């Protein structure tokens, strides 16, 4: 059994950070979580206005008001995805965002995220 995971980010650069994570499970259920960047140990600053307007359409204000703490997001992902042998993403960026998220929470994921394209080879 496997699950999928996808991130939205503040932009596409090394200074960007995850702002939303979503996953889907084998039973067809899915969930997404907004991430409050102010709760990262070293608050994330970089923001790409183009990404907000043209890609994810999530404002900084919405993240500050509705986003969950970084630690809470990691704990939730570990609880839900830790029981799956395979958790897939569709790009190297998702691997990068996962690392940035868990580093900020001083935690480790209880699951291994694999780019689906590498698994299919």
Residue 35 has pLDDT above 60, yes or no: yes
- The pLDDT, as a whole number, for residue 119 is 64
Residues comprising the chain, all counted: 121
More confident residue, 95 or 13: 95
The CATH class of the 2-120 domain is alpha beta
User: What confidence score (pLDDT) does residue 77 get?
Assistant: 98
Largest CA distance in the chain: 42
Q: Is the dihedral of CA 120, 28, 7, 48 positive or negative?
A: positive
Banded model confidence at residue 1, pLDDT cuts 50, 70, 90: confident
pLDDT digits (tens, 9 = 90+) for 54-104: 999 999 999 999 999 999 999 999 999 999 989 999 999 999 999 999 999
95's enclosing H/E stretch is helix 92-105
- Domain limits of the chain? 2-120
Asked if 91 contacts 97 with a C-beta cutoff of 8 angstroms, the reply is no
């Amino acid at each position: 059994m496997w699950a999928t995971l996808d991130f939205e980010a503040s932009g596409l650069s090394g200074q960007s950070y995850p702002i939303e994570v979503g996953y889907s499970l084998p039973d067809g259920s899915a969930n997404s979580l907004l991430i409050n960047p102010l709760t990262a140990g070293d608050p994330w600053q970089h923001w790409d206005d183009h990404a907000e307007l043209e890609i994810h359409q999530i404002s900084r204000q919405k993240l500050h008001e509705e986003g969950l703490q970084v630690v809470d997001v990691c704990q939730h992902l570990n609880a839900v995805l830790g029981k799956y042998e395979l958790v897939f993403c569709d790009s190297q960026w998702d691997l990068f965002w996962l690392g940035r998220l868990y580093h900020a929470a001083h935690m480790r994921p209880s699951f291994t995220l694999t780019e689906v394209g590498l698994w299919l080879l």
